[in-house]
């Protein structure tokens, strides 16, 4: 389930310091039964495991494990483990 205004970036869209060897693109994996709440941003190379929830307004830089609720206010933070959500 994906909320409004969610942004998913699989690229930085440019190299850094003109370094052409930079890997500025990386796939994103979104598992089964994942909820990405409104206004969240998912960045390149992230894996959202089955059953996880991304809180509203979060910026996700790192993988989220199965059944985790993750949000952030400056730094990505696990809010709760072993969650179950229903639609």
pLDDT band at 82 (very low <50, low <70, confident <90, very high): confident
E runs forming strands in the chain: 7-8, 29-30, 35-36, 41-42, 47-48, 53-54, 59-60, 69-73, 75-80
Domain with residue 10: its CATH number is: 2.160.10.10
User: Which is more confident, 17 or 9?
Assistant: 9
**If you ran DSSP here, which 8-state letter would residue 32 be given?**
S
Question: Is residue 12 in a domain?
Answer: yes
Residue 50 is predicted with a pLDDT of 96
Question: Is residue 30 in a domain?
Answer: yes
Domain that holds residue 10: 1-77
pLDDT above 70 (res 23)? no
Residue whose pair of structure tokens reads 């990405």 in the numeric block: 36
What global pTM score does this model have? 0.79
Cβ-contact 46, 34 below 8 angstroms:
no
pLDDT above 70 (res 9)? yes
Domain count, the chain: 1
Cβ-contact 57, 42 below 8 angstroms:
no
Least confident of 8-22, 30-44, 52-66: 8-22
Residue 19 is predicted with a pLDDT of 64
């Amino acid at each position: 389930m994906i909320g409004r205004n969610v942004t998913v970036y699989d690229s930085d869209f440019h190299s850094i310091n003109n370094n052409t060897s930079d890997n500025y693109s990386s796939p994103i994996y979104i598992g089964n039964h994942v909820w990405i709440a409104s206004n969240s941003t998912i960045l390149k190379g992230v894996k959202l495991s089955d059953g996880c929830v991304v809180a509203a307004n979060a910026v996700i830089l790192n993988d989220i494990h199965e059944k985790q609720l993750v949000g952030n206010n400056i730094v990505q933070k696990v809010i709760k483990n072993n969650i179950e959500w229903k639609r």
